[in-house]
Structure 1
Amino acid sequence: MFNAFPLMIIPFVLYNLAMLGLMGSGGLPALKNDVVVLSMISGAIWSMSLGDLFIVLALCVLFFEILKATRNGGGSLANHMLSMLVFIAFLVEFLLVQDAATQVFFILMTITLIDVIGGFAVSVRSAGRDVSIGL
């Protein structure tokens, strides 16, 4: 069951919660609020906004999605189909919802596209290695 669940839906849901104002205060402007601010040894101030945190989360999720794609078997095909549906949801929302037309959402959508293409490529490549011909 877990193998068929597309993890890229997590950043999608989190972004939509932030867009609706259910995460923090102020709705979409909350994406620009700093969640981490650190003073570096060099004296510089490093900060990470909520939108940047979503991108980092999506990249971590992409790593686990690619790992899941290396396994062949139950749920693999369902995962690919559901990942494609998540990408389509990203694309439709990006094109039709005004608050989704941001750089953060576009980067999340691109990460999801890489997940779909990479998942298919890794699965096809690893499935080719599993074929054995008995002589």
Structure 2
Amino acid sequence: MGFFPFTIIPLILYVLAALFLYDHANYVVEPGQVALHPFWSEAVLSFTLVSGQNWALSYGDLLITIAIVFVLFSLLKTASTSKTTILGNMIMVLVLCVYIILFLTVDFAGTSTFFILTVIALVDTLATVSISMVASHSTMDAVPDD
């Protein structure tokens, strides 16, 4: 589990939702219009707060929240100095590349929800690589034992 990139889960969920849950034929973005498919702005749950404000959680918000929780799990496993951590870091960079390529080239990934997921993957990758580098240096002895 040390090499599994948790940021791939929101990527898979997004792509599956984009491929199977919404109708691409009805999705046309006019020039100057925000590229957010109506599916991502649909409310998953909605209720009235004590203040009287109506609060709704959309599918896009839920997916971003899930991605942030997975970043926490990713950072918790990063302190390990095992050899699988290096493999995990390499896979995380590949997942980040997939996010960037999809965002730039695929129409259903050109949304603000996917952009935020890409930024989360970037931050997760940079933080994980940084933390694992610090952790690997802290386990080295300044003077080797003979």
TM-score (norm 2): 0.85
Counterpart check, 1:108 vs 2:107: no
Q: Structure 1: any 5+ residue segments left out of the alignment?
A: none
Determine the C-alpha separation between the residues in 2 that align with 1:131 and 1:64.
25
The equivalent position to 2:93 in structure 1, one of 84, 94, 107, is: 84
**1:3: Cα distance to partner?**
1.1
The equivalent position to 1:124 in structure 2, one of 133, 142, 145, is: 133
Kept in 2: contact 1:8–1:86 (CA 8 A)? yes
Counterpart check, 1:29 vs 2:28: no
Give the CA RMSD over aligned residues. Answer: 1.3
**Partner in structure 1 of residue 68 of structure 2:** 59
Determine the C-alpha separation between the residues in 1 that align with 2:38 and 2:85.
37
**Partner in structure 1 of residue 2 of structure 2:** 3
How many residues are matched?
132
- Whichever of the two has the greater Rg, that structure is 2
Amino acid at match of 2:126: I
Kept in 2: contact 1:18–1:31 (CA 8 A)? no
**1:60-87 Cα shifts (integer Å, max 9, x gaps):** 0001111111111041011101111100
The equivalent position to 1:97 in structure 2, one of 106, 109, 115, is: 106
**1:26: Cα distance to partner?**
4.0
Could you say what secondary structure the match of 1:5 adopts? coil
TM-score (norm 1): 0.92
| Identical amino acids, percent of aligned pairs | 30
Amino acid at match of 2:101: V
